[in-house]
């Protein structure tokens, strides 16, 4: 069952030994998102106001990236964990109404 896949690129990375690798991956995508936002706003600024617009676009891109991206990450996290909390609450409610399965007497 634990056979390695034929394609080594399909192996999942084991983060249990190096949890910091996961954080570096997240930071890499975060930095890439800030770079893209900043470049887009700088391009729009250059087309509208020349080099002053580029400086303004760089400033706004960095501010939006630094302030906005953590907020978006928080909203995504809340969305994912709220689904988990709903399912957990449903199980606990069912246990409260019907009792735990191990508490039920078996009919013989």
pTM of the model: 0.54
Is there a domain that residue 83 lies in?
yes
Mention every residue, 6+ apart, whose C-beta is less than 8 A from residue 97: none
Judge contact between 22 and 15, C-beta under 8 A. Answer: yes
Q: Supply the pLDDT for residue 73.
A: 81
Q: Supply the pLDDT for residue 3.
A: 64
Q: Supply the pLDDT for residue 83.
A: 80
- Distance CA(52)–CA(33), nearest Å, equals 23
Domain span at residue 29 reads 20-97
The 10 Å Cβ neighbour count of residue 45 is 21
Is there a domain that residue 103 lies in?
no
Is there a domain that residue 28 lies in?
yes
**pLDDT mean values, one per 10 residues, the chain (108 residues):** 60 65 81 89 90 91 87 82 83 84 64
Q: Supply the pLDDT for residue 52.
A: 93
Is there a domain that residue 58 lies in?
yes
Continuous H helices in the chain: 19-49, 51-98
Query: How buried is 16 (Cβ within 10 angstroms: 0-12 exposed, 13-18 middle, 19+ buried)?
Result: exposed
Q: Supply the pLDDT for residue 55.
A: 93
Q: Supply the pLDDT for residue 106.
A: 60
Is there a domain that residue 65 lies in?
yes
Is there a domain that residue 41 lies in?
yes
Q: What are phi and psi of 48, to 5 degrees?
A: -95, -40
Is there a domain that residue 43 lies in?
yes
Is there a domain that residue 68 lies in?
yes
Q: Supply the pLDDT for residue 56.
A: 92
- Distance CA(48)–CA(90), nearest Å, equals 54
Number of structural domains found in the chain? 1
């Amino acid at each position: 069952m634990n056979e390695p896949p034929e394609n080594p690129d399909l192996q999942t990375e084991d983060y249990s030994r190096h949890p910091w690798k996961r954080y570096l991956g997240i930071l890499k995508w975060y930095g890439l998102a800030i770079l893209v936002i900043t470049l887009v706003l700088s391009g729009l600024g250059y087309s509208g106001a020349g080099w002053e617009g580029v400086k303004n676009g760089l400033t706004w891109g960095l501010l939006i990236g630094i302030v906005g991206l953590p907020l978006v990450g928080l909203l995504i996290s809340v969305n994912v964990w709220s689904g988990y909390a709903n399912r957990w609450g449903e199980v606990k409610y069912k246990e409260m109404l019907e009792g735990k399965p191990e508490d039920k007497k078996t009919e013989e």
